[in-house]
Structure 1
Amino acid sequence: MKIAVIGTGYVGLVTGTCFAESGNQVTCIDIDEHKVQKLKAGEIPIFEPGLEEMVKRNTKARRLLFTTSYDETIPDAKCIFIAVGTPQKEDGSANLDSIWKVAESLAPLLAEDSIVIIKSTVPVGTNRKLAELLQKLTGRIVDVASNPEFLKEGAAIDDFSKPDRVVVGVSRPEIADTLHELYKPFLRTEHPFLSMELESAEMTKYVANCMLATKISFINEMANLCERVGADINQVRRGIGHDQRIGFSFLFPGVGYGGSCFPKDVSALISVAKSHQMEPSILNAVDQVNTAQKRVLFEKVNHYFKGDLQGKTFAIWGLAFKPKTDDIREAPALVLIDQLLQAGAQLKVHDPVAMNNVKDIYGDQLAYFDHHYDTLQGADALVIVTEWNEFRHADFDYILHKLSNPIIFDGRNLYEPDKMKQKGFDYIGIGLSSLKS
């Protein structure tokens, strides 16, 4: 099948590459000429395990092409996926300007039997508005579908290739049949293809992300309460996680969620609710708890040093909002960095892949190190913000030797408090009993 994917950001590039991998002829379109040239040369603008090799393989096989031209691609495409950004506006709602610009560019070029599919995360009603706009621009009915993505950064290739489910919103069953055929190679293990109304598919994406964000904020609030009452959130988490109604997913306490999806989608759904005269109390609380949680690490550091951080040096491990990505959007580490700098501290930072993105923001305000152990020399404490695997089995004797003070602030609870105490550290995590931290 001939496919066009408009937008070569995270979602668009993964989507186009995975469709090409299953034998389709895919052309990815982007208005950024420099970005397109880099993609043609095999240079990937994002970090995603396995993606670079897959892009190069399918580009070499001529199944995956990159261009800035609509004219040479759209007329022959059966399925046209829109995967452009829908950033958050100041009022929390989604900015759909890019969607409408794409529609205006597409309209004169659409074939009679083409399907325009919104892959971007968009508010309820957007697909209907797109259909109306395309009908106005073309003078005929254009098939439109919603196909929300459920990709996790760091595991996007597996998520696309082995999905829990594929969700599509359609206005007639024939559209669903075409999309089912397209996705069939990825559904061989009997995972469901769920066809529903346009509005239901749009809502599914927001509800899924907001549910996961709710679990994170819930466990973080319970972690903070555990500290006050002398309980250990790690023990509590195990106690509730074995209840099959609850489970363990997204019940790891930490310093709050970040990234491109959860913060934006929670805000967008709050905006949708308010626009329909409904006050979303739970979502408001989820957002408020997460905002407060991003300040927890600084509060622990500041309390430990009795409010005197001027001239102190801190080693920070982990800058991306989660492991296996270079994405620093809404990353808790940035909140911590801003607070520590404002308090007069000096920072030595490391992240396996996200340091260049952080350097673009902070420049020479921070000291950057290619190896995480190199941040330790002369530091007054170690602060762990992102749970990269290489941090999990650390050389604690070496850390103890290099730090000026044997202090670790662990925003991800990577280590066992009792063992850290035995090794001579003051170990301060999230939601741990004051007797252990």
Structure 2
Amino acid sequence: MQVTVVGSGYVGTTLAACLADVGHDVTAVDIDPDVVAAVNDGRATIHEPGLDDLLADHANDRLRATTEYDGVPDAAVTFLAIGTPSREDGSIDLGPLTAAAEMTGEAIAAASEDDGATPEGDRHLVVVKSTVTPPGVREIREALRAGAGEAADRVELATNPEFLREGSAVDDFQHPDKLVFGTESGWAAERLETLYDPLLASTDADVPIVRTDPETAVMIKYANNAFLASKISLANDLGNICKRFGIDAYEVMDAVGLDDRIGAKFLRSGVGYGGSCFPKDVDAIRAASREAGYEPALLDAAVAVNDGQPERMLDLLDSHVDVAGERVAVLGLAFKPGTDDVRNSRAIPIVEGLRERGSEVVGYDPVAAENARELFPGIEYADSADAALDGAAAALVVTDWDEFAALGDAFDAMTIPNGADGPVVIDGRRVIERREGLTYEGLTW
């Protein structure tokens, strides 16, 4: 099947590479010539395990990239995977996405005027992969139809939200928990099922397919992420209570997770969630809810708890040492392991808080340092965790990279600040083992 994917960011590149891998002929469209060149060279512009291999395997064969929309009319399906950045109030900016929808419609209209290049009666399926609110779906549909003009009656909009986790996006695509098809007709649903048939044939799992309308489909995505974010915040809230009682929250939540009504995932308390999905999606649905006249009290509370966790970590540091003028190591700059994404990373408020306290901050992350430099060009960046710890009076563990669990003797190179019994380590992810000679504090244990 011929497929066009408009947008070659995180979602679009993963989608294009994975669809090519199951046998489709994919054209990726992006306005950035550098991104187009990278895809055609078989290189990913983001750090995502497995993605470089897929691009290298299929670039200039079943996958090619371009800045033009001229291949859209020949595709059986066109995906829109354009970013929807947040505004000040948390709502999403649909401008880039509606512009892409309109240009997609214009490409289809131009082909329909070209001596039957799009045969009379043919229908073109345009699928929104971007995360948008239900009212946003209607805006995109209007933009698509406006661009298509007289060909609008042959264009149908569907939604197919993604549930990919950064750091495991390729594996998540290849082994989905579910597929959600938001369509307006049986024809569109059948076309999406045909598109995904090779993927489903390649997995032994019985993947459930949810068939619904376009607006409900995107609401499923928001509800999914809002629930997970709230579960994390509840685990953190309970963890904060456990800390006050001198109880290990992890022991508590290990038992709680045995209840099959709750489940064991997303119960690891710590410094909070970040990234491009949970914060943005929860803020967007809160803003859309208020626009519709409803105050989402529970989601507001989930955000408040999450936003407070970095400050709680800094408060623990303050209880042991005055870090003014002291070298402090921040271990982990990405919002989670397996990615170089620093968007909404918990390291951001941590670094800001340390600088406000007059610390000499040194950061280390296995892959995210370059992206972090754009946010904090004025701090020191170490080439290794060992180098970051060397001479530091304190360390804060913000991202749970596996290598941090194996640091061992690296802590011996730290210094002992005035008033402390040993170098201070504040662990926000339960990565570091307590050891003799360290003043160690877990955030919720």
TM-score greater than 0.5 by the shorter chain: yes
Letter in 1 for 2:40: K
C-alpha distance in 2, partners of 1:253/1:216? 7
Letter in 1 for 2:6: I
Letter in 2 for 1:130: I
Per-residue CA distance 1:12-59 (angstroms, 9 max, x = gap): 000000000011110100001122123222332100001011101101
1:177 has 2:190 as partner: yes
Gaps of 5+ in 1: 433-437
TM-score by length of 1: 0.94
SS of structure 2 residue aligned to 1:89: coil
Given that residues 180 and 211 in structure 2 are in contact (C-alpha distance below 8 angstroms), is that contact kept between their aligned partners in structure 1? yes
Given that residues 395 and 425 in structure 2 are in contact (C-alpha distance below 8 angstroms), is that contact kept between their aligned partners in structure 1? yes
Correspondence for 1:194: 210
Identity %: 38
Question: In the TM superposition, what is the alpha-carbon distance from 1:79 to its structure 2 partner?
Answer: 0.5
Alignment of 1:154-173 (within 5 A): 154-173=167-186
C-alpha distance in 1, partners of 2:32/2:185? 35
Correspondence for 1:428: 441
Question: In the TM superposition, what is the alpha-carbon distance from 1:309 to its structure 2 partner?
Answer: 2.0
C-alpha distance in 2, partners of 1:401/1:147? 51
Question: In the TM superposition, what is the alpha-carbon distance from 1:120 to its structure 2 partner?
Answer: 0.1
C-alpha distance in 2, partners of 1:271/1:329? 20
Alignment of 1:203-282 (within 5 A): 203-282=219-298
Correspondence for 1:399: 411
Per-residue CA distance 1:105-150 (angstroms, 9 max, x = gap): 1112224421000000001133333333333432232211000000
Which of 292, 295, 298 in structure 1 is aligned with 2:314?
A: 298
* 1:70–1:344 distance in 2 versus 1, CA, 3 Å: same
SS of structure 2 residue aligned to 1:222: helix
C-alpha distance in 1, partners of 2:35/2:268? 37
C-alpha distance in 2, partners of 1:377/1:393? 16
Given that residues 270 and 280 in structure 1 are in contact (C-alpha distance below 8 angstroms), is that contact kept between their aligned partners in structure 2? yes
Correspondence for 1:21: 21
SS of structure 2 residue aligned to 1:145: strand
* 1:316–1:136 distance in 2 versus 1, CA, 3 Å: closer
Correspondence for 2:68: 69
Structure 1 stretch displaced more, 190-199 or 155-164: 190-199
Question: In the TM superposition, what is the alpha-carbon distance from 1:337 to its structure 2 partner?
Answer: 0.4
Question: In the TM superposition, what is the alpha-carbon distance from 1:238 to its structure 2 partner?
Answer: 1.2
Given that residues 163 and 186 in structure 1 are in contact (C-alpha distance below 8 angstroms), is that contact kept between their aligned partners in structure 2? no
SS of structure 2 residue aligned to 1:236: helix
* 1:368–1:196 distance in 2 versus 1, CA, 3 Å: same
Matched residues, number: 422
Given that residues 163 and 187 in structure 1 are in contact (C-alpha distance below 8 angstroms), is that contact kept between their aligned partners in structure 2? no
Instruction: Give the root-mean-square deviation of aligned CA atoms.
Output: 1.4
Letter in 2 for 1:129: E
Given that residues 275 and 344 in structure 2 are in contact (C-alpha distance below 8 angstroms), is that contact kept between their aligned partners in structure 1? yes
Given that residues 209 and 261 in structure 1 are in contact (C-alpha distance below 8 angstroms), is that contact kept between their aligned partners in structure 2? yes
Given that residues 119 and 146 in structure 1 are in contact (C-alpha distance below 8 angstroms), is that contact kept between their aligned partners in structure 2? yes
Letter in 2 for 1:409: I
Correspondence for 1:326: 340
